[in-house]
Structure 1
Amino acid sequence: MGAAIKSEFRKFFTTRLWWGMAIGIFLAAALFSAFFAYFTTSATATEEGAPTGDPVQIVNSVYTAGLGVGYLLMLTVGILQIGSEYRHKTITSTLLSTPNRVRAMLAKIVALLGIGALYGLVSLLGSVTVGAITLMVRDVDPFPSIEVLRTLALSLLALGLWSLIGLGLGILIPNMVAAILVGVGVAWIVEPLLSFGLSNLDWGAKIVPYFPSNATNAMVNGVTAQGTDVTFLSWWAGALVLAAYAAALSAFGTWRTVRQDVS
């Protein structure tokens, strides 16, 4: 099992993809946190529709501002981890080197959680460094409560779970390019539009909190939609919902890989 996990890490870190993703996640986290830190502490923030709340909520929104871009990139990483195997016909050698297919898929899952944690650290490095400096310049305490540390830890978990969602999606849609387009399109465009439309319906408002992106926002105490009848989940419930998505899709991917013929 250890050799299979090392192999998965080696496949990822011997390409140029890993540092390109790292740069993208770092810059997104830094830029969004700087913008949110300035905007939420501006004298005209309330008038311009900035997120409001207690100091902890404001600081959390600053440090997780770039998480939306981060989890889309991790979704892509999860898809690529399996999709590239089918695209470049290396899945055969992978399964031959690890004949136990369940073990091979578990190795991918463990590796993706590690990769997600690593990118989570990169994201936090960008958001906390730049965000904290901006908050201090604006005379705001960058760490008003220990709850902020919990949010930062949950951000690491969220990115790892989104990579597992990508893994399941990459197996569900074997065409790597199509899987990326569908995954990013649903998470970035379709889901927000559905959330907006359903939030104005009595029955729809009960479904919206369980969408993956909304569960992620609730999990890390991020900014959620205002002015609707939607009651968003608590942080622990959001974590459980997102974990359920990741577990279901990764379990489905493992089941399908075990049963399908590979040539």
Structure 2
Amino acid sequence: MDHPQSARRIRAYMNPYGVTRLHLRNPWVIAFFSFSFPGFGHLLLERYLPAIILAGWEIFINTKANVNSGILYSLLGDFDKAKEVLDSKWLLLYVGIYMFTIWDSYRKTVDLNKQYILADREDAWMPHMRISALDINYMDKRNPLLALVWSVLAPGLGHLYVHKIVTGFLVFAFTVALIFQSHLLPAIHQTFVGDFEGARALLDMQWTLYLPSMYSFIFYDAYVTAVEDNVLFEKEQSQFLRTQYQHPSFPIPEQDR
């Protein structure tokens, strides 16, 4: 049975598939991930529905407008080719939502930081364990480096380690789709056998350029989630011990000076 919640705001919501938590975030970091891949900033804020909508829109409209191909040719200095591949009919539709995504993720981070400060000051109650027929979730100490290592080995494994099931499924599905569309694995095989020209010919750069942003997000989010899980675990333990074991009139011994 849940502990009665007297605080106006909550610091965390737990279900068997993950923990949605408030904690202090750097708005510029969130805005950067929205800049690198629209939807990722909202995913870092654990706003899953807007993140799915924006990330899906990014892949659709970016592919239609050939934005990544235009970026590639611009970086290579071939501006005429960049203008040729860009589809202006779709590009103009892309810009407005892209700017909104960055602005909204920054604004929402500032707002949620304020909510966290108020919730922390109110000493809001936090859940410890949730059980369902499909899964079990509980607060525990987790190693951030292990979360990072598992994410390096395979996208999504680090998120499964920190019990962030929804995000783990999303990043795994997105990454597999992007790797397949970019022909990355055949290109890696050709590289290993020394056929560098064949590898370059196989790669579809329109899809390949999604992958640096994807992997940066996966590594960062898995590591930070493990760190914040540990902070939340310590706060919940402290709150439990204060409310259940420490008598209000318990004398605190003075420290020797």
Q: TM-score, normalised by structure 1?
A: 0.31
Looking at secondary structure, tell me which structure has more helix per residue: 1
Greater Rg by CA: 2
